[in-house]
Structure formats: structure tokens, C-alpha cells
């Protein structure tokens, strides 16, 4: 197969992912990067001096296993599993389109994944973190509102930065969230978080640098972003991750703290307080209950520690 033929197939696959699968741009980039890496390996495997075109119909499970073995040298199992998932998705698309008579990935199993327990903060550490951003500056007021919303609603950081003012229903104390695959869910939001948002909203004109303050006129609009940077643009996930980590270090939290740790803390603290696992699943927007069940292991570990310390015969 020529490079131009492969490009044509990948372009069609790209359209399929965007239009039919409705994947995010981040997911799309990962899928395409993985597919191109796979074909680059096939055309020039280690030890081969020059690249040689590969006919796509000659790709079989042996070549796929060779690629996975190559990846094992430098990649974690989670990364290898994602790349294999991308390749499987591409070949399933080709099979559906009639470009291949068979799926070479059909009997290729994914590597068994490690299952690390979710990182979460204690309730005391969580409260310290919530109070860490200073309220004597507009940026600090914004950051405190971000912490309150993350912990109150258990949002993914991508969901947080994607919030618009029209997604908030303060009278009902709920927020409309667009999760993975653009799926929408309604999540309760606490009064503390709503108060922090009100305080932040009043500070927005002071947050924006003077030359960009014309954008502040859009703050009241339903489609305007909730969380802004100093230029008046939507805050990025990377920026949120950076100041969450900075605040955690500043208030002496030794645990590596990311926005996702606040989501894990939300779920763990609810479970500790007796919340139903299926209710937590709905709040987090998990498609499968098995994903939510990881938090029961966290709970069990804590119970075992208490038992070991307290029981006379432990």
C-alpha cells in the first residue's frame, strides 16, 4: 500500500472518529498518533536500514505482537494498552468499510493492567487545601472557587474548565456537566461552592488585564466560560493542574496532588459517609460500576489499618 493510500484511509477514519464517535480532540490526536506509530514500525522495524512500504492486507497478529513487544521496552502497560486499543479501533473501521476481509487484531489480547488505588486526600488535608488560595487577589478568589467546585461536584478537570455560566442552576443547586463522549449529566453543587462562585464572579473584572477587559462584558452570557485566565480566555486543564499542585505543596501536603485527586477525594469521602456506590457512579459519570468499585478497595484498606491497630489479636 502506498503512503497516499494509507493517508486516505486515515483521513476517512479521522472523519469517522469526529462525526460518528464524537471523540474529543485530545482522544483523536492520541488515536491518530498511535496508528501512525504502528505503521512507521511496520515499514521500518528495528535493525532494518531503509523503510519499506507495507500492504495493509498483509498485517497479521504476528506483526502486531512484534510491535507490542517493541513497546514493552520503554512504555508502561497502560500506554501499551491504549496504543493497542487505537490500532484495534482502526482495523475494525477498515473491516466495517470493506477495506479488509478480516480483522488481524481479533485475537490479540491487551496487556494486563496494574490497578493502582486512587490517590485521595484526608478530610483534614482537603479542608486545608480548600482554604489555601488567598482571597486578597482576584486569582486567589478564582482558585478557591475552582477547588470548591472540584470537590463539591467531583468533576474531571476537563469538565471543570468546560463549564459555562449557563450550566449553573444556583436556585436548584445543580450544575449541568458535559463528560466523556459529550455525555451530559446533572450534578448537585454545594452552597459553599456557589458562594465561592458568586464571590469570584464579582472579582472577574479585576482578574482580567486592562487591555482585555472588553471581554468581561460576556461574563453574564450563558455561553461565557466560568473560569478565565488573566487574558479573558477559558482556563486550560494544564493551568488548573499547575496551581492545584502548587497550593498543595504550599500548605504542606506531601501527597502528589492533582485535580483528579480532588475527584477521588470527593468519591472516597462520600463512600466513607455511607453513600450508595451506584449514586457515586452517577455523580462521577462512570459508564461502568466496576470503575467506581475501585473506591471500595480504598475503604477496605482503611478498615484493615484500623483493625490491625485496634484488635488485640490482629
pLDDT of residue 307: 57
Q: Which residues contact 192 (CB under 8 A, 6 or more apart)?
A: 148, 152
Residue 17 and residue 256: Cα distance in Å, rounded? 34
140-178 pLDDT, tens digit per residue, is 999 999 999 999 999 999 999 999 999 999 999 999 999
> In CATH, what is the architecture of 123-308?
Orthogonal Bundle (1.10)
> Where in the chain are the domains?
3-96, 123-308
Residue 310 and residue 314: Cα distance in Å, rounded? 8
Residue pair 165/222 in contact (Cβ under 8 Å)? The answer is: yes
Residue pair 141/285 in contact (Cβ under 8 Å)? The answer is: no
- Secondary structure class of 273 (helix, strand, coil): coil
Residue 53 and residue 222: Cα distance in Å, rounded? 52
| Joined grid coordinates for residue 259 | 485535580
Q: Which of 78, 114, 119, 177 is nearest to 295 (CA)?
A: 119
For the residues 115-141, what does the mean pLDDT come to? Answer: 86
As annotated, the active-site residues are: 156, 180, 260, 263, 286, 295
Residue pair 235/227 in contact (Cβ under 8 Å)? The answer is: yes
Q: How confident is the model at residue 309 (pLDDT cuts 50, 70, 90)?
A: low
Size of the chain, expressed as the number of residues it contains: 314
Residue 310 and residue 80: Cα distance in Å, rounded? 43
Phi-psi region of 46 (alpha: psi -120 to 50; beta: other; left: phi over 0): beta
pLDDT of residue 308: 67
pLDDT of residue 183: 86
226-239 pLDDT, tens digit per residue, is 999 988 889 999 99
Q: How confident is the model at residue 56 (pLDDT cuts 50, 70, 90)?
A: confident
Percent of the chain with pLDDT over 70: 87
- Secondary structure class of 165 (helix, strand, coil): helix
* Long-range contacts from 46-50, C-beta under 8 angstroms, 24+ separation: 46/70
Q: Which of 157, 61, 162, 47 is nearest to 103 (CA)?
A: 61
Q: Which residues contact 304 (CB under 8 A, 6 or more apart)?
A: none
Residue 266 and residue 298: Cα distance in Å, rounded? 13
Q: Where are the beta strands (DSSP E) in the chain?
A: 168-169, 174-178, 184-188
3-96: which CATH topology? Answer: DNA polymerase; domain 1 (1.10.150)
Order of strands, edge to edge, in the sheet holding 168-169? 168-169, 174-178, 184-188
Per mean pLDDT, which of 35-39, 105-109, 269-273 is the most reliable? 35-39
Amino acid at each position: 500500500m502506498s503512503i497516499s493510500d494509507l493517508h486516505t484511509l486515515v483521513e476517512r477514519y479521522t472523519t469517522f472518529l469526529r462525526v460518528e464517535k464524537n471523540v474529543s480532540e485530545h482522544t483523536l490526536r492520541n488515536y491518530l498518533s498511535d496508528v501512525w506509530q504502528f505503521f512507521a514500525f511496520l515499514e521500518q522495524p528495528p535493525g532494518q536500514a531503509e523503510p519499506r512500504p507495507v500492504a495493509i492486507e498483509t498485517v497479521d497478529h504476528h506483526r502486531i505482537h512484534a510491535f507490542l513487544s517493541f513497546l514493552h521496552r520503554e512504555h508502561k502497560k497502560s500506554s501499551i494498552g491504549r496504543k493497542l486499543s487505537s490500532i484495534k479501533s482502526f482495523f475494525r473501521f477498515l473491516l466495517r468499510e470493506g477495506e479488509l476481509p478480516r480483522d488481524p487484531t481479533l485475537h490479540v489480547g491487551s496487556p494486563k493492567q496494574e490497578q493502582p488505588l486512587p490517590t485521595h486526600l484526608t478530610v483534614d488535608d482537603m479542608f486545608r487545601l480548600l482554604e489555601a488560595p488567598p482571597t486578597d487577589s482576584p486569582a486567589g478568589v478564582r482558585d478557591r472557587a475552582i477547588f470548591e467546585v472540584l470537590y463539591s461536584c467531583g468533576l474531571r478537570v476537563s469538565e471543570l474548565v468546560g463549564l459555562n455560566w449557563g450550566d449553573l442552576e444556583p436556585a436548584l443547586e445543580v450544575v449541568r456537566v458535559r463528560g466523556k463522549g459529550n455525555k451530559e449529566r446533572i450534578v448537585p453543587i454545594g452552597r459553599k461552592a456557589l458562594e465561592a462562585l458568586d464571590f469570584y464572579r464579582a472579582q472577574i473584572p479585576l482578574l482580567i488585564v486592562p487591555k482585555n477587559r472588553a471581554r468581561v462584558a460576556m461574563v453574564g452570557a450563558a455561553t461565557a466560560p466560568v473560569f478565565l485566565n488573566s487574558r479573558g480566555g477559558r482556563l486550560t486543564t494544564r493551568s488548573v493542574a499547575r496551581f492545584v499542585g502548587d497550593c498543595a505543596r504550599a500548605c504542606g501536603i506531601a501527597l502528589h496532588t492533582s485535580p483528579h485527586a480532588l475527584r477521588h477525594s470527593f468519591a472516597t469521602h462520600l463512600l466513607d459517609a455511607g453513600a450508595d456506590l451506584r449514586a457515586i457512579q452517577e455523580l462521577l459519570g462512570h459508564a461502568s460500576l466496576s470503575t467506581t468499585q475501585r473506591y471500595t478497595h480504598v475503604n477496605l484498606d482503611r478498615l484493615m489499618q484500623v483493625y490491625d491497630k485496634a484488635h488485640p489479636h490482629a
